[in-house]
């Protein structure tokens, strides 16, 4: 059961989705499947984010069906039946009765009966919403149910004629976070910030990148956040220039920076924080110079997160500061306009300044509406994460810059008059970082 999101909020989400569905339609959404890791060992189970959003129900082998206007209940769940013998080995199952009582579904059936029951629910509905094309097995299953109905047309059965991707409507709902969702995300941000602080405080002991990963995991687990939102990145020295570095196996070197990009999940809501700091607790002059450019870019980008600005404004704000900084430090030549126009910054800054954040670390929601960037509105949550990366083999720049990789990332939510930073529990100025590491 979820603590941050009350059951009535899940019901409200289902209601909102049904309001957006065509009359005479049905939506079908499967839970995530368990995946084998090796032989009889499974990967830790993570619920599908759409399924989680609409149910809060954390088991595999379940299917949610939404049938607007159905007399016997509009929200129907198929799930595993209770089974004392199986539960003795694998733990508690909610069961169909529990799904109604504890999860507020209107109606529920054993998943083993779905082939007998669901075609009758689809029959007579003209449009079927489902995650079309996401999973071949489920696509085939939906078509099997439809074929069954088609085989009975001479007895008067009416098969559906339209199949529509469920995501379009659902993902637009997910883009706007409620007060409860923001509380869950703030908690994930708070725990993740504490984990980064702990890693900073322990870095001076040296060791390897995985030693700092262990400190992150320790804090996540210690607060009951048992899953990371994505594999943690701990990159010492030039490994900080590898955007998705997850080996985390190299020794940490005195005099190097280390880049940590890590966040936990709380009730499946992600945090996503990056900090970059010196292994020995003190920035060198060159490290500090480049770091200050990234920090100024991040502050400018956060300042651009406010209602009325569009999605690309923070990126543009960050880009200007980064490019001017690269020119001022002599890493790029030319005017600001030239550098922006020719994209000469690309070898140093090749990613965007953020992404939507929510149940998925790279959360759902359109970034453009038609040809125009999406306008920011209260409740939208995003990351702000500019960086600069100087490849170790970049001979165009002075050797002193080579191998520096710096990113600073915070999570923010748009408010009525600006934005709220959810991850400010971990320092990011040079003075604050050095003070924490000296302590
Ligand atoms: N940690 C993934 C990202 O920052 O986008
Ligand atoms: Mn991110
Ligand atoms: Mn990140």
Return the CATH number at 150.
3.40.350.10
Q: Are residues 132 and 194 in the same domain?
A: no
Catalytic residue among 15, 205, 226, 362: 362
CA dist., res. 41 & res. 138, Å (int): 23
> Would residue 375 count as lying in a domain?
yes
421 CA from centroid of ligand 1 (Å): 16
Cα-to-centroid distance, 272 and ligand 3 (Å)? 5
313 catalytic residue (yes or no)? no
Which ligand 1 atom minimizes the distance to the CA of 262? 1
- Are 124 and 217 within one domain? no
261 is catalytic: yes
Residue 251 pLDDT: 98
In this structure, the answer to whether residues 157 and 189 fall within a common structural domain is: no
Q: What is the predicted pLDDT for the residue at 81? A: 98
Question: How many of the other CB atoms lie within 10 Å of CB of 205?
Answer: 11
Q: Could you please report the per-residue DSSP string of 213-272?
A: HHHHHHHHHHTT--SBSS--EEEEGGGGGSTT-----SBP-TT-EEEEEE-BEETTEE--
What is the model's pLDDT at position 10? Answer: 98
* Residue 63 confidence class, pLDDT cut points 50, 70, 90: very high
Residue 54, in any domain of the structure: yes
Identify whether 272 is a catalytic site residue: yes
43 is catalytic: no
Where would I find the beta strands (DSSP E) of 127-178? 127-130, 162-165
Residue 275 placed within a domain: yes
**Residues 133 and 262 grouped into a single domain:** no
The token duo for 168 is: 């379009």
Q: What is the pLDDT of residue 221?
A: 98
- Whether 2 is covered by a domain: the verdict is no
Q: Could you tell me the residue range of the domain that residue 361 belongs to? A: 176-438
One domain for residues 169 and 180: no
Q: According to the model, what pLDDT value does residue 389 have?
A: 98
Quick one: pLDDT band at residue 278, thresholds 50, 70, 90? very high
pLDDT tens column, 132-146: 999 999 999 999 999
Q: Are residues 122 and 214 in the same domain?
A: no
Contact partners, residue 125, CB within 8 Å, separation at least 6? 24, 25, 26, 67, 160
Q: Which band of pLDDT confidence, cut at 50, 70 and 90, is reported for residue 364?
A: very high
H-helix or E-strand containing 296?
helix 285-303
* Burial class, 136, CB count within 10 angstroms (exposed 0-12 / middle 13-18 / buried 19+): exposed
- What is the per-residue DSSP string for 304-356? T-STTSBTTHHHHHHHHHHHHHHHHTTSS-S-HHHHHHHTTTTTT--S-S--B
Evaluate whether 73 touches 64 at the Cβ level (below 8 Å).
no
Domain boundary among 121, 139, 174: 174
Ion ligand 2 neighbours, Cβ < 5 Å: 272, 383
Give the side-chain half-sphere CA count within 13 A for 210.
Answer: 4
In this prediction, residue 190 carries a pLDDT of 98
Q: Residue 337 Cα, ligand 1 centroid: separation in angstroms? A: 29
Compute the distance from residue 274 Cα to the ligand 2 centre, in Å. 8
On whether both 284 and 423 belong to a single domain, the answer is yes
Q: What's the number of domains the chain is made of?
A: 2
Residue 389, C-beta contacts closer than 8 angstroms, at least 6 positions apart: 240, 241, 243, 348, 349, 350, 404, 405, 406, 407
| Average pLDDT score over residue span 15-19 | 98
Predicted confidence at residue 89, as pLDDT, reads 96
| 296 shares a domain with 414 | yes
Whether 184 and 156 map to the same domain: the answer is no
**411 CB under 6 A from ligand 1?**
no
H helix or E strand, kind and range, residue 410: strand 410-414
Does residue 146 belong to any structural domain of this protein?
A: yes
pTM greater than the 0.85 cutoff: yes
Is any ligand 1 atom within 6 A of the Cβ of residue 230?
A: yes
Instruction: Flag whether 255 is in a domain.
Output: yes
Distances (CA, A) of 203 to 85, 213, 236, 240, 418: 48, 11, 11, 15, 35
Q: Say which of 14, 196, 275, 407 is annotated catalytic.
A: 407
Ligand 1 atom with minimal separation from the 362 CA? 5
CB 312 within 8 A of CB 373: yes
Active site residue 315: no
pLDDT of residue 151: 96
CB of 436 within 8 A of CB of 427? yes
Domain boundary among 174, 190, 211: 174
280/350 same-domain check: yes
Other C-beta atoms closer than 10 Å to the C-beta of 376 total: 20
Confirm whether 352 is a catalytic residue: no
Pair 136, 157 in one domain: yes
Domain annotation covers residue 336: yes
- Give the per-residue pLDDT at 249: 98
Give the pLDDT score at 29. 98
Quick one: what percent of the chain has pLDDT higher than 90? 99
Q: What is the pLDDT of residue 262?
A: 99
Instruction: Tell me what the mean pLDDT of segment 14-21 comes to.
Output: 98
φ and ψ at 413, to 5 degrees?
A: -125, 135
For 117-133, write each residue's pLDDT tens digit. 999 999 999 999 999 99
pLDDT of residue 215: 98
Maximum pairwise Cα distance, the chain: 82
Could you tell which of 355, 381, 384 is best to mutate to test the pocket of ligand 1, judged by most ligand atoms within 8 Å of the CB?
Answer: 355
Structure confidence by residue, pLDDT tens digits, 318-341: 999 999 999 999 999 999 999 999
Q: Give the DSSP per-residue string, 34-78.
A: P-EEETTEEPPP---HHHHHHH----SS-EEEE-TT-TT-SEEEE
Task: For residue 412, give both structure tokens.
Answer: 């923010």
| Residue whose C-alpha is closest to residue 51's, from 70, 29, 34 | 29
| Of 191, 40, 66, 189, nearest in space to 125 by CA | 66
> Is 265 touching ligand 1 by the criterion CB < 6 Å?
no
Looking at residue 156, the DSSP 8-state letter turns out to be T
Q: Torsion angle, CA of 365/371/376/380, rounded to 10 degrees?
A: 0
361 Cβ below 6 A of ligand 1: yes
Q: Identify the CATH number of the domain in which residue 417 sits.
A: 3.90.230.10
Both 148 and 197 in one domain: the answer is no
Length of the chain: 439
- Residue where a domain terminates, one of 146, 174, 202: 174
In this structure, is residue 1 part of a structural domain? Answer: no
Question: If you average pLDDT over every residue of the chain, what do you get?
Answer: 98
Cβ(232)–Cβ(213) below 8 Å: yes
330: left (phi over 0), alpha (psi -120 to 50) or beta: left
Collapsing DSSP to helix, strand or coil, 12 comes out as helix
């Amino acid at each position: 059961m979820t603590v941050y999101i009350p059951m009535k909020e899940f019901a409200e989400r289902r209601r909102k989705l049904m309001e957006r569905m065509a009359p005479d339609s049905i939506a079908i959404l499967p839970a995530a499947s368990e995946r084998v890791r090796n032989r009889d060992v499974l990967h830790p189970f993570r619920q599908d984010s759409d399924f989680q959003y609409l149910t809060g129900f954390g088991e595999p082998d379940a299917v949610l069906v939404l049938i607007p206007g159905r007399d016997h209940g509009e929200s129907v769940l198929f799930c595993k039946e209770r089974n004392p013998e199986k539960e003795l080995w694998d733990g508690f199952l909610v069961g169909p009765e529990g799904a109604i009582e504890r999860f507020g579904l209107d109606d529920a059936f054993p998943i083993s009966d779905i082939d007998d029951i669901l075609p009758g629910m689809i029959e007579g509905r003209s449009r079927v919403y489902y995650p079309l094309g996401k999973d071949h097995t489920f696509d085939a299953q939906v078509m099997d149910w439809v074929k069954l109905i088609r085989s009975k047309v001479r007895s008067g059965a009416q098969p559906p004629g339209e199949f529509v991707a469920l995501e379009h409507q659902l993902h637009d709902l997910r883009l706007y976070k409620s007060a409860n969702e923001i509380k869950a995300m703030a908690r994930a941000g708070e725990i993740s910030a504490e984990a980064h602080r702990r890693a900073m405080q322990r870095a001076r002991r040296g060791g390897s990148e995985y030693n700092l990963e262990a400190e992150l995991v320790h804090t996540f687990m210690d607060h009951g956040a048992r899953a990371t939102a994505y594999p943690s990145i701990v990159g010492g020295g030039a490994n900080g220039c590898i955007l998705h570095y997850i080996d985390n196996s190299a020794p940490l070197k005195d005099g190097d920076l280390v880049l940590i990009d890590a966040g936990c999940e709380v009730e499946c809501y992600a945090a996503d924080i990056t900090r970059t700091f010196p292994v020995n607790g003190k920035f060198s002059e060159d490290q500090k110079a480049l770091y200050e450019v990234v920090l100024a870019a991040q502050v400018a980008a956060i300042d651009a997160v406010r209602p009325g600005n569009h999605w690309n404004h923070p990126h543009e704000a960050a880009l200007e500061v980064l490019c001017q900084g690269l020119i001022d430090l002599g890493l790029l030549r030319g005017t600001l306009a030239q550098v922006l126009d020719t994209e000469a910054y690309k070898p140093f800054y090749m990613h965007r300044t953020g992404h939507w954040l929510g149940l998925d670390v790279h959360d759902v929601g359109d970034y453009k509406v038609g040809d125009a960037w999406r306008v920011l509105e209260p409740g939208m949550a995003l990351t702000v994460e500019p960086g600069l990366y100087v490849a170790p083999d970049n001979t165009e720049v002075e050797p002193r810059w080579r191998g520096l990789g710096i990113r600073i990332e915070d999570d923010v939510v748009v408010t009525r008059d600006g934005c709220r930073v959810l991850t400010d529990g971990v320092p990011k100025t040079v003075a604050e970082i050095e003070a924490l590491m000296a302590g």
